[in-house]
Every structure is written in C-alpha cells, then in structure tokens.
A and B are shown apart, each in its own frame.
Chain A
Amino acid sequence: MNDLLLLVLKRLGFGLLTLLVVSILIFFAVELLPGDVAEAVLGQGATPETVQAMRDQLGLDRPAVVRYLEWLGGAVTGDFGVSAVSGEPVINAIGDRFVNTLFLAAYAAVIAVPFAILLGIVVALLRNSVFDRVANVLTLTSISSPEFFLGYILILYLSVKLPLFPAIASLSSDMSLGELLHRTFLPALTLVLVVTAHMMRMTRAAIINLLASPYIEMARLKGVPPWKVIVRHALPNAWAPIINVVALNLAYLITGVVLVEVVFVYPGIGQALVDAVSKRDFPVVQASSLIFAATFILLNLAADVGAIITNPRLRHPK
C-alpha cells in the first residue's frame, strides 16, 4: 500500500510541475505582444496619459518575473487580478460562470457515462454484426461533426420545429432544479452526443482487446456460459481501461464546452473566454485559460491514478 501511495504522490508531483510550466507559458505568452497589454487593449487612438494610467493600474512597469510571481501567488488563492476592460476583479467575472460550466459538464457526464459504457459493452459483444456496423458509422459521424453543427441541429428540431426545449439557456439564481435541468437540456444533450460517441468507441476497443486475451479463450473452451465470461472473467480486468476512458472523456468535455456554450449563449466560463478574446481582455483570458488547463491536467492525472490503482502491474514497473 505504501508503494501505491508513493507512486500516486510522484504522479501528483509531476502533474503539479506540468501545471507550473503551463502557467509560465500562459503568463509569458502575453509578453509576445508588440508593445504591452495597455497599448494592445486601448488601441492606437489612446493618449499616452490613458496608456500610462492603465500601466499603473495593472502594474506593468515592474519586471515580468515579479508580476508572474504575484499573479501565480494570487491565482492559488483565487485572486486573478483585475480585468483590463471593466477594471473589476477577474474572479467576479468568471467565478460564478465556472460553477455554471461545471454544472453543465456534470449534467452531461451523468447521462453520458453509464449510457456510453453500457452501449460500448453491448457493441463489443455484438462485434462485426450489422448493429455494430451501424453503431460504428453513427459514432464516427457524431465524432466528426463540429459541436456547433450538432447544437444547431438540436435547436432546429427540438426547439424551432417542435417547441420542447428553449434554444437559449438563460439562467437565474431563483430557478428550481427541474426548471434548470429543462433549460440546460439542449446544451447538455449536445455534449452527451459527442462524448458518448468517443466513450463508446474507446470502451468497445478496450473490451475487444480484453476478449482477445488467452485466459478468456480458456474460460470459453472449458464451457463457462457467455454471461459469466463477461461478469466474472472480463469485467474485473476491464475496470482499468473503462476508468481511463471516462476520465479522458471528461477532459474532452472541457474543450467541447466552449463551442456549446457559445451556441446556446450559456453563461459559462467558455463564453467568458471567447468574449474576453474578442475584447482583448488579457487578464480574463489568462485566468480562464489557466482554469481550463488546470481542470484538463487534473482529469488526465485522475486517469493515470485510476489506472495505477486498478492495474497491479503498473505498481511495479520493471
């Protein structure tokens, strides 16, 4: 057990190191700007006085390294500085929105994960049948479609032609949970479609890989009934790849959420990032990029740790 803890800690340390490097990358990328943030935000028409005022406000005349350390120190405690456009603290602009995004992702994940794993196993068992071929073509189509395509199709059919769900996901704090789930159903469904396809294909590949191993063949040859082969022999070894698949796809959700939020005008952090990019509000861009990257790294880390815990062979690397 001690070995395991050490291994997980080591992996965790490596994840933190990656996050540190990524934060350096995100912060110093802005230094690539011709001129500086103040000039870029205010544009060419600004007077030298206003540019200087913004420099003072953002503390731009100090060395970049000092500003980086302050930014990082603030980011750890949730303080991302002030927005270059509105002058308000960044955390006010994106804090609530991040919670909304997590809600949307969780909503989609709760539907997609059990559904996709079940379908993946079924398709793996029926492999090379007509059902499998059809599922293959359908999932491939879903993966290949841009998120906004799926989103607009759902709007067209479930909101315009059949007015079942609202096309715009406006939220307010006094809504009941049922109302909330109804309003955010279409964005969640879009994410479900994309993620389910990915997850199904990966689950199918993992299970088929497993069913090809000699000990399954052995179990079949000695006359174990098919359902028992799956439940007793295959499933215990399938958990590792399935946990991996789930974590990787949750990480994938994080990127997909940006486009879906824009399509449905959902008040999430992805929408905030896109707005900030068009307004060139760099503190907000940096903060949301860092939050997205941190979530992404965390989920990839969870995939690794899950794999280590469920697969004893990884605990003793040769």
Chain B
Amino acid sequence: MATFVFGYYAALIIASVILAYVDYKKWFLMVFSLLLVSFVAGIVGGAGALEVITIFVAVLATAAAVSYAFKFFLVLIAKPNLAKELKTAPLTAAFGMFVIFTYAVAGIFAPLIAPHGQAEVISGAFAPPDANMLLGADQLGRDIFSRIIYGARNTVGLALIATLGAFFLGALAGLLAAVKGGWFDQFMGRVADVIMSIPSLIFALLMLSILGTSTWVIVVVVAVIYSPRVFRLTRAVAGNIVVMDYIEAAKLRGEGDWYLIRREILPNSTAPLIAEFGLEFCFVFLLIAGLSFLGLGLQPPTADWGSMVRENATLISFGDITPLIPAAAIALLTVSVNFVVDWMLFRSSGLKEQ
C-alpha cells in the first residue's frame, strides 16, 4: 500500500514538473490542482480515497483516448466536407458518437453477442457471476449480461420507433399548419397546448392504464405525448420559410401544398430538425425507461432496461451494483446523445456565445 501512495504522489509531481517545464499551462493547472486535491483527500480518506481518484482519472483518460481515436477514424472515413466539420468537434461529441455506435452494434447484433437467450433460465435465482455468466443471474436465473445486450435492442429500438412516430406526427402537423395557416393552424396550436399542459409521465400512466401495455399502444401514446414539441419547432421554423419569395414564386407556378413541403420547406429546415430529433429521443427514452421501471413498458420476458432495474433492486440493499448497470446504460446513452446534440446546435450557430 505504501508503494502505491508513494508512486501516486511521485507520478503526479513528476507530471506537473514536466508540464511546467514544457509550458503547457492549462494541463499543468489541471494536474497540479489534482495534486492539491489528492493531498486533502489522502489525509481525510487515506489510501482508499487515492485509489478512487486513480480509478476515476484512469476511466476519464481511457474515455478521452477512445474518443480521440474514434474521431480520427471518423475523419479518415468521412467525405472531405464532413471531415472538416468533424475535425473541429469537441472530444465530448466524439465520445457521444462512439457510444451511440457501440449501442447500435450491440442492438443490431444482439443475438450474436449475447451468450444466452433473453428469456433462457440457466441457473438458480441471483446466482453469483462465474465464467459462464459475466454478471451473474437475475431473480429468475437468467443471464444478466445477455439481457443487458438484448435490452439495447428492445428498449432503444422502442424509444427510436416512438421518437420517429412523434416526429412524423409533429412535423407533418407543423408543416401543414405553416402552409395552410388560418383555422387549421389555430386549432393545431390549441391541441398542442392542451397536450403539453398535462405532465408527460402522468398522461402516459393514465392512457396506458386504460389502453393496456401492448407495444404498439406504448409507441402511439408516447408519440402523441411528445409530438407537440416537434410541432411547435417545425411550425416556428417553417413559419419563417413560408414568407420567403421563393415560396411565393412556387405558389404562383401553381405548385401544391405537398410539393411546397417536400421540395421547398423541408430541405431548408433540416438542421434544427435533426438537432431536435436528438433531444426528442432523450425525452422519449427517459419516459419509456420510467414507464418500464413502473412496470408499464415492454412486458416480460422481453429484456428491458427499466424493468430490469426494478426486478433486481433488492440486490442493492446488499451493496451489489449489478442492478444499476441497466440504469447506467440508459444514462450513458442519453448523455451521449446530448453531447452530440450540443455540438450540432453549436455548429448550426444559434447557441454560439460571445
């Protein structure tokens, strides 16, 4: 233990001296403040606290390194225009893209990656981890690791379909409202107001208690609840476009509403809509996770992250973190999407602060 503490401080001091010598001010400040923090933490918490800090820094450094490498990879394979944009992306955005990519792979190839089926009972309840089961078994003796992998397919897939539904409904209504105007516009606006004035989780609980929890009911209910956000944004963006001269010209040519929407308005409003898609996905994903945590999501034996947390929650009172892994998976994906959206919003100006 003594060697660890000694090595820990020695490494930090040597690193800060080197950084001071080569005059990397920002990095020096970071390493040196870490050293000061470690002094306090070491005195208060002993070697244990230093170990926690080491693990934390190591995880952070690995994440940064992976994102850096992934960014380089993306720049290499992207087309020249896109590559230029990607080069300026912050590490957080690269990290987000990497996580999204990983989840996509896990979801698409779930049956190949997972060692066992999602509903397959292979051992006793709550069996501890072994060579066959990476994370142990759940309350019915199913492999938790396999269920987490399948969850990437089920939970994320469900959220994706619901988001697409919300987007389709909201964007269509918004575009039609902008093009048609008049009473249709007013009416859709009021409908959106009413839907948004009920808390989303409460509304979802009410509707699902009445209509039951089959997959398609969940998709439709969640899509309807979150479509007003998309509606408002699309209406606002499209509202600025319909007053342009080229729309007037297209109207004078005798083009119909559908042509206007498809060929004139949509191509000019993609940037804000794509960013909104990311944000919307986060909201929908968290709502679906909350619902399935409450037992109103995908029904068993389908593996689903929210309900997995609930089913294995008793393990937490024994100090076991396994039940938190699905919850962490939810949080990680949401954070990653947010990182990417942040970068896209920043890029399409709008949020460029001084």
Contacts and interface: CB of A to CB of B under 8 A. Distances in A.
Contacts of A262: 293-294
Interface in A16-31: 18-19, 21-22, 25-26, 29-30
Given A293-B202, A297-B197, A152 B327 contact: yes
Contacts of B317: 155, 160, 167
B225 to A, nearest CB: 12
Interface pairs A-B: 7 shortest CB-CB: A144-B334, A149-B327, A145-B331, A277-B209, A255-B199, A144-B335, A292-B202
Contacts of B210: 29-30, 32-33, 282
Interface string B296-309: 10000000001001
A289 interface: yes
B193 A144 contact: no
Interface string A28-55: 0110110000000000000000000000
Given A296-B199, A300-B197, A289 B206 contact: yes
Interface stretch (A68-76, A115-123, A135-143): A135-143
A27 to B, nearest CB: 11
B244 to A, nearest CB: 23
Given A130-B30, A149-B328, A285 B199 contact: no
B205 A293 contact: no
B186 to A, nearest CB: 14
Contacts of A273: 202, 205
Interface stretch (B176-184, B253-261, B264-272, B318-326): B318-326
Contacts of A146: 286, 289-290, 293, 306, 327, 330-331
A153 interface: yes
B268 to A, nearest CB: 26
Given A140-B339, A208-B353, A258 B202 contact: yes
Contacts of B338: 140, 143-144
A57 to B, nearest CB: 20
Contacts of A30: 210
B17 to A, nearest CB: 21
A30 B324 CA distance: 36
B354 interface: yes
A300 B296 CA distance: 28
A74 B202 CA distance: 21
B205 A274 contact: yes
A148 interface: yes
A25 B309 CA distance: 32
A147 B199 CA distance: 15
A233 interface: no
A144 B290 CA distance: 12
Nearest to A37: B210
B208 interface: yes
Interface string B171-191: 000000000000000000000
A127 B351 CA distance: 13
A205 to B, nearest CB: 9
Contacts of B290: 146-148, 258-259
